[in-house]
Amino acid sequence: MTTTVEPPAGPGAAISGKGIIEAFKRSAVEFIVSVPDRVTSETVLRGVASDATLKLVRVCKEDEGVSICAALSFCDKRALLLMQNTGLLDSINALRGIAVEYQLPVVMMVGLLAHESAAPPAQSKSYGARIVTPILDAMGIAHEYLHSAGDEQRIAPAIERAYANSTPLVLLVGRSPI
């Protein structure tokens, strides 16, 4: 089943990078697997890299991360794959085979490159951002759109659901966190 909860439109304050990292920890996420994403680079990935309580696994390509997160779930270790939408699009076959068909809790946070708008991703002016949620819907992958201050609160419950149901999850970040 696919769920999308859109935030209220409007500029407002951006989501907090520190709040995102705290949500990872509240969710018992231990490993962050990443190829750098321009949207979350400064406030999330740098924060993760300097946080001794999180284990950062740097990979060359995002589909590697799909497999690493899936394998960690067998070891009862929670992980999150941090990447941008280009990496998500490049990883579709790994997601199809390992996350969806094998029903594994692969949790991803995906920066929407060139979106930077209050509009829902499907209405983005950027083609690369606009096609993401229709593709996820077609694949049956749950997604949440995180855009404004306070949206950090939706991260931990979504991750809990992904692990409880053993299903993949994509957390979309619409603009650079502060």
Partner 1 sequence: MMKRDQCLKLIAKYHRDELVVPVYQATFEWLAIKPEAPTFTAVGAMGQASSLALGFALGAPDRRVMVLDGDGSLLMNLGSLVSIANAAPGNLLHFVCENGTYEANGGHPIPAKDKVSFTGLALAAGYREAHEFSELDALEAALPGILRARGPVFIDLKIVPGETYPQDWAYMHGTESREKFRKALRQSHA
Of 178, 170, 159, 106, the closest CA to residue 136 belongs to 170
Nearer to partner 1, 51 or 116 (CB): 51
Q: Give the rounded distance of the alpha carbon of 1 from its chain centre.
A: 17
Judged by CB under 8 A, does residue 165 bind partner 1?
no
Picking from 21, 26, 178, the residue whose alpha carbon sits closest to that of residue 109 is: 21
Q: In this complex, which beta carbon is closest to partner 1, that of residue 3 or of residue 103?
A: 103
Q: Is 40 exposed, middle or buried (0-12, 13-18, 19+ CB in 10 A)?
A: buried
Q: Does residue 127 touch partner 1 according to CB under 8 A? A: no
- List 111's β-bridge partners, or say none: 84, 173
Task: Pick the closer one to partner 1 by CB: 15 or 83.
Answer: 83
Of 78 and 175, nearer to partner 1 (C-beta) is 78
- The site map against partner 1 for 71-100 (x = CB under 8 A) is xx-xxxx-x-------------xx--xx--
Q: Which of 22, 36, 54, 68 binds partner 1 (CB under 8 A)?
A: 68
Say if CB 7 and CB 146 are below 8 A apart: yes
Contacting residues toward partner 1, per CB under 8 A: 31, 55, 57-61, 63-72, 74-77, 79, 93-94, 97-98, 101-103
